[in-house]
Structure 1
Amino acid sequence: MERFTNRTVLITGGTSGMGLATARRLLDEGAYVVITGRDEARLRRAAAELDAGPRLLTVRADAADLADLDRLMRRVETWRGGLDAVFANAGTGVFKLSSELTEADFDQASDVNFKGVYFTVQKALPLLKEGGAIVLNASWTIHRGLPVASVYSATKAAVHNLARTLGSELAPRGIRVNSVSPGYIDTEMYRGANPDPEADRRNAAEVPLGSIGHAAEVAAAVAFLASDDASYVTGQDLVVDGGLVGSVPHR
């Protein structure tokens, strides 16, 4: 498929995991892709891995830094003139019991996961073409409680609520806004929170499909929501979790 031929897509947090996998998917479908990250070396490695030549732009930017976002949008405008879609993917994980969370933990999670997403969208809107699409990265934890994820889950719930409210606000421009909620997905963040192979086995046992998901499977969902195939879908959350939230594993 080449659903994104000559279309321009911004992906924040695109140097690894779901962001990198989505960049690869959209490049394969003909897109021009902008990926951001906070580390120049990681951006260079991602660019080498994607090997997309002139259809890839890498920009060092912190999604929680509004000055960085302003510079990012100027680069995008100079490069391509506008945007057809945005995947606000940059995020961080803070997984502690509520009694152990510090103010710094709270600020880090809320700055990246909510403030960063909010202002990424705000700053991108002047460049986003009519009929464009926005996909926000939420989490399965907005649908099911996880003891060590109180602040993380709250920021992700805010992200999905933003998809609903902006879906309504931007509908007159024909811009669709949805969120995607990954379950247990094999990424650097997941491995950092689950370094023990036994934890990996326990997590997989909770999933009706019996395995940890892959970043490419989330990328396929993002590509659907950002494409014309989802032309009548807005304000929704697409859960990509192997049945973790909605089903009990068969024993």
Structure 2
Amino acid sequence: MRFENKTVIITGAGSGIGQATAIRLSAEGANVVLIGRDVTALEETQGRVANPDKVLLRPHDVADETEAGATYQAAIDRFGYVDGFVNVAGTMIYQSLGDLTGDDWARIMKINFFAAAFFTRHAFNHMAKGGSLVYVSSIHAHQTSPLVGPYAAAKAALTSLARTASIEGRAKNIRANSVLPGAVDTPMLRESPNIKSGLEVLDPLDIGQPEDIAAAVAFALSDEAKFLTGSEITVDGGRLAKL
């Protein structure tokens, strides 16, 4: 019960890694604040956690800067304090660099990067006693594939944000780390045009489960990781270790 009496905000909590993280943290005693655009999906997550009464639903677009501050305040009003933040929300488009428009780039960056920056600002302003921030990035931050340029760029920016947050957060007792999943069995992976077309071929042994990522996130958030900050935790089944 590492998160008993602790409150954690989770974006992208309606499915996949975000949902698995909410389930894992709730099982360890956390109050969880679930963010996503689809209220039905958030309600499904609430129905699957260990303590549905210790859940606050905040259905909104993560890229809405004003909602980030409102979410922190709502969490404090309900639970008293916010101890952790997990950025999971993300999206992808599959287009070549020659076809991407400014609107394409802006949409991906807003959801995958700017949203995390907005929530980080409010974490710094609301976590007076300190806390832990975890940014779910991707191995695409370091090694990528064709047609996902904005996604890879946003994930690289996310790991950089985590490093800066760890430096500036030190005086505030705020830790910040990034978790870099490889291929994970989520709707995003299953619907990937690169996978469907055969442009990207995955060994089944390289495909993890959302719960694998949630376990790493839970460790990084927990007091067990009190000396872990500014780090990247790669959780990819050894995919990047291969020549």
- Shorter-chain TM band: over 0.9
- Is contact 1:17–1:215 with CA below 8 Å preserved after alignment? yes
1:189 corresponds to:
188
Q: Which stretch shows the higher mean deviation, 189-198 or 20-29?
A: 189-198
Q: Decide which of 208, 233, 242 is 2:228's aligned counterpart.
A: 233
Instruction: Tell me, yes or no, if structure 1 residue 222 matches structure 2 residue 217.
Output: yes
2:238 maps to amino acid: G
| Distance change in 2, residues 1:41/1:200 (3 Å) | farther
Query: How far apart are 1:51 and its partner, in Å?
Result: 5.6
| Residues in 2 aligned to 1:194 and 1:212: alpha-carbon distance in whole angstroms | 17
Does 2:140 match 1:141? yes
Whole-Å separation in 1 of the counterparts to 2:161 and 2:227 = 18
What CA distance in whole angstroms lies between the structure 1 residues aligned with 2:19 and 2:164?
A: 27
Aligned to 1:170: 169
- Whole-Å separation in 1 of the counterparts to 2:42 and 2:121: 24
Gaps of 5+ in 2: none
SS at match of 2:162: helix
Change (3 A) 1:152 1:94: same
Alpha-carbon distance in structure 1 between the residues aligned to 2:51 and 2:166: 32
Equivalent pair of 1:88/1:121 in contact (CA under 8 Å): no
- The equivalent residue for 2:30 is 31
Q: Counterparts of 1:92 and 1:112 in 2: how far apart (Å)?
A: 7
Query: TM-score with structure 2 length normalisation?
Result: 0.93
Q: How many residues in Structure 1 have an aligned counterpart in Structure 2? A: 243
Partner of 2:3: 4
Q: Deviations over 1:109-131 (max 9, x none)?
A: 01111111100111233332534
Aligned partner of residue 183 in structure 2, secondary structure: coil
Shift of 1:151: 1.2
Contact 2:138 2:155 in 1 (8 A): yes
Q: Distance in 1 between matches of 2:11 and 2:93?
A: 19
Unmatched 5+ stretches in structure 1:
none
Identical amino acids, percent of aligned pairs:
35
For residue 194 of structure 1, report the CA deviation from its aligned partner. 5.0
C-alpha separation in 1, matches of 2:134 and 2:225: 11
Q: Contact 1:96–1:148 at 8 Å: present in 2 too?
A: yes
Deviations 1:49-84 (A, max 9, x none): 326222111111211001222321221121112111
Give the RMSD, CA atoms, in angstroms: 1.9
Contact 1:135 1:226 in 2 (8 A): yes
Tell me if structure 1 keeps the 8 A contact 2:69–2:119: no
Amino acid across the alignment from 1:237: E
Q: Classify the secondary structure of the residue corresponding to 2:177.
A: strand
